[in-house]
Amino acid sequence: MSLIVALDSPDREFGSLVEDLCDIVDGFKLGLPLLMGRGVDYAARLRSRCNRGLWIADLKLADIGHVMKLTTSLVVEHVDAVIAHGFVGIQGALGELKEFLNSLGKKLVVVASMSHPGAREVYDKALPLILNVIGELEPWGIVAPATRPQVITSIRERLGDSVTILSPGVGAQGAEPGAAICAGADYEIVGRLITSSNDPRAAALAVKDAQKQRLQACKRGA
């Protein structure tokens, strides 16, 4: 099963949690509150506790290429991938960022849609245009909401198998573990359900187990 843990809280020491989860999860996503609150060197310190899996800086960049590259350069050496919004377009923005990341051997992940209810107000309406951007840009990965699996299915149909789909919204935001994977996602991103648990390792193992059961059920067509 494919599980990435979101680390967001700026006032929390995540070192032992990272070490505890290292052998059972597929990676960690570092949120802006964490990176701004603890400083980018904290990413390196966390990574030294688990040098495996995918480490992602969730910068949610949305700026001109020049500025997105400056922001990225502050943290990129400590991570494998960086997240940017898709609505800024390619020319003078995502195209430059992708080239920069490619030159460093790092991955670009683009937000296609979001998990919160307000995503219906703008993001869903803009989705066809954002998918045009993603189709042309060909980033390594995209973000699509576990809370609305039908969006994932339609994106997968449109973009095919070559793009990696990462899906947040599991647990605290209401999506069941495994639902996004059944709909076509490659990874589920889980934050508070695991990080706020008294026993994060047990919570992560429970998520993986629930993913497995859900996947078996959806393969049977349930």
By the rule CB under 6 A, 171 interacts with ligand O7M: yes
For tokens 């359900």, name the residue: 193
Site for ligand O7M in 2-31 (CB under 6 A): 6, 8, 29, 31
CA nearest neighbour of 52 among 31, 17, 26, 82: 26
- Output the 3-class SS for 19-69: HHHCCCCCEEEEEHHHHHHHCCHHHHHHHCCCCCCEEEEEEEECCCHHHHH
Q: How many residues bind ligand O7M (CB under 6 A)?
A: 22
By the rule CB under 6 A, 83 interacts with ligand O7M: yes
**Does 186 participate in catalysis according to the annotation?**
no
Choice from 25, 58, 82, 112 touching ligand O7M (CB under 6 A)? 58
Q: Which residue out of 20, 26, 41, 60 is catalytically annotated?
A: 60
Query: Bridge partners of 110?
Result: 84, 142
What number of residues does the chain have? 222
Choice from 172, 205, 210, 215 touching ligand O7M (CB under 6 A)? 172
**Does 58 participate in catalysis according to the annotation?**
yes
Query: Bridge partners of 56?
Result: 29, 81
Nearer to ligand O7M among residue 168 and residue 178 (C-beta): 168
By the rule CB under 6 A, 153 interacts with ligand O7M: no
Active site residues: 58, 60, 63
